[in-house]
Structure 1
Amino acid sequence: MAPQPLPLVLDRGSPVPLYHQLAEQLAAAVRTGVLLPGDGLENELAMMDRLDVSRATVRRAIQQLVAQGLLVRRRGRGTTVADRLVHRKVELTSLYDDLVGAGREPRTEVLQHRRGADTEGAAGLGLVDDDEALLYLERVRYADDEPIALLRNWLPPALADIDATALEGDGLYAVLRARGVRPQVAHQTISARPPSARERRLLGIGRGQPVLTMTRLALAADGTPIEYGSHCYPAAAYNITVMIDER
């Protein structure tokens, strides 16, 4: 069934651009629950004809909401309201724990679990000897069966015996805590970029949709490296909160 048209009104006498007026009304419909997660948006051509605006105006409004994470474009499904956002604070927590705390159901698929020398991992962990056998992990994390993260981690030799089965049922930090290993300090960098073809396939996102990337080196209280991660996430599914304390 085609989505029901929203009661959209554009003021052509206003100095506010038409695309921005349209974007604000669509965003309000999402935020107030008129449009729910997974709901489809009215066809671009139908909206263009109904509102008597150019297709460029409609596309620019929709793209603005895609960039804000309110709408998602998916091949074969058109434009839909984004599923519930994953709210993450910039602090030393695991995605698995954040999902559980938000009432989501996390699931993990382990794609790679191998031990051996790894130049990228050794550099990330700050190890002088890149011949040491590290544990490399690559996992897809799901929330309510929606792929929301591609996770790549390197662990130092002392932790290289962690079993893949443990990581299918719990988060990496929970597995580490069960061994008495607790990350205390981390150096973390967040950025954005276009996804690779493989990342698009694994995360179920379309061309033109960016991914957030995060690299993180986690350390024990004595400065010993515990894990190095290089992850990517569908940008539309995330809201990152930063708290600034000026004390």
Structure 2
Amino acid sequence: MALRRDYAHRVPSPEGDPTASLRLGVDRNSPVPLYFQLSRQLESAIAQGSLTPGSLLGNEIDLAARLGLSRPTVRQAIQALVDKGLLVRRRGVGTQVVQSQVRRPLELSSLYEDLHTAGRGPATRVLSNALVPASPEAAAALGVAPGEEVRRVERLRLADGEPLAYLCNHLPARLPGLDDAGLREGSLYALLRGAGVTLHSARQRIGARSATRTEGALLGESARAPLLTMERTAFDDTGRPVEFGAHLFRASRYSFDFQLLVRP
């Protein structure tokens, strides 16, 4: 027998409440906690654009009454999304929707192209693009001697006009076509493919740390805000390293998706 889902509309929705147009409800026969059911529905509405960035959620008391839930249950559902960075509580304003997180699969792809595919309006600010002596770390990754000339590119990647990531890449100096205009208008990997590079594989390491004051200002976060870190060395189809990247992502706006398989 199918489980019953209760869609409650006992109390009229306040004018201007964006949740009024959503078909929210809970299945009281489900073993899934009521707060989690509501939280997932609100998260889905944010991901699908039904709750747009900047919109204000209605009063918790009104929402609880409309759905026939207790206020602590509604508060717990909303807090779960605050903890995920999808909602923010602003004193004197209320609970506001912020940009949904960018969820990126772990594969050898360009962030610019992933954002474009997801409809997130990617844009790039080129902070620097110059030939510099290779640091010991970059030299080891690219297989050149320390101090040998390499190209260092620093960019700020935005999604829908909001800072998302700071990208720092070191590349072999021999690679042509890496001008500022090309870096602003598209992806680094597209430029590499245009230069005749066939990307084949990469070695990647993911971590986390707190933002410095400078990094926070650049990314629109406070000092010591959590950041995701990623280091990647990419190789072409001959096995030569063609890119060493050290990137920072806003943990409140970005996450990685993993698919795990049982080992046979």
TM norm structure 1: 0.75
Measure the CA separation in 1 of the matches of 2:122 and 2:197. 22
Corresponding residue number in structure 1 for 2:173: 157
Question: Residues 12-91 of structure 1: matches in 2 within 5 Å?
Answer: 25-32=38-45, 36-38=51-53, 39-40=55-56, 64-72=80-88, 80-91=96-107
2:185 paired with 1:169: yes
Bigger radius of gyration among the two: 2
- Name the amino acid aligned to 1:141: R
Corresponding residue number in structure 1 for 2:135: 119
2:216 paired with 1:216: no
Structure 2: any 5+ residue segments left out of the alignment? 1-14, 21-31, 64-69
Q: What's the Cα RMSD here? A: 4.0
Q: 1:193 to 1:78 in 2, by over 3 A?
A: farther
Measure the CA separation in 2 of the matches of 1:67 and 1:28. 16
Deviates more, 1:163-172 or 1:67-76: 67-76
How much has 1:163 moved relative to structure 2? Answer: 1.4
Measure the CA separation in 2 of the matches of 1:222 and 1:27. 45
Corresponding residue number in structure 2 for 1:146: 162
Measure the CA separation in 2 of the matches of 1:5 and 1:68. 20
Measure the CA separation in 2 of the matches of 1:75 and 1:110. 36
Of residues 242, 247, 251, the one that matches 1:226 is 242
Contact 1:153 1:228 in 2 (8 A): yes
Q: 1:24 to 1:195 in 2, by over 3 A?
A: farther
Q: How many residues align?
A: 236
How much has 1:168 moved relative to structure 2? Answer: 0.8
Contact 1:121 1:154 in 2 (8 A): no
Measure the CA separation in 1 of the matches of 2:92 and 2:127. 26
Measure the CA separation in 2 of the matches of 1:233 and 1:112. 18
How much has 1:239 moved relative to structure 2? Answer: 3.6
- Name the amino acid aligned to 1:213: T
Structure 1: any 5+ residue segments left out of the alignment? 8-15
Measure the CA separation in 2 of the matches of 1:234 and 1:74. 20
2:174 aligned counterpart, secondary structure = helix
Contact 1:218 1:227 in 2 (8 A): yes
Larger RCO (alpha carbons 8 Å, 6+ apart): 1
Of residues 94, 105, 119, the one that matches 2:110 is 94
2:191 aligned counterpart, secondary structure = helix
Q: 1:192 to 1:40 in 2, by over 3 A?
A: farther
How much has 1:24 moved relative to structure 2? Answer: 6.3
How much has 1:40 moved relative to structure 2? Answer: 3.3
TM norm structure 2: 0.71
Corresponding residue number in structure 1 for 2:210: 194
Contact 2:177 2:195 in 1 (8 A): no
Measure the CA separation in 1 of the matches of 2:119 and 2:143. 38
How much has 1:224 moved relative to structure 2? Answer: 0.7
1:81-133 Cα offsets, whole Å, 9 max, x none, are: 23233221100000011111112321110001111203155345243511211
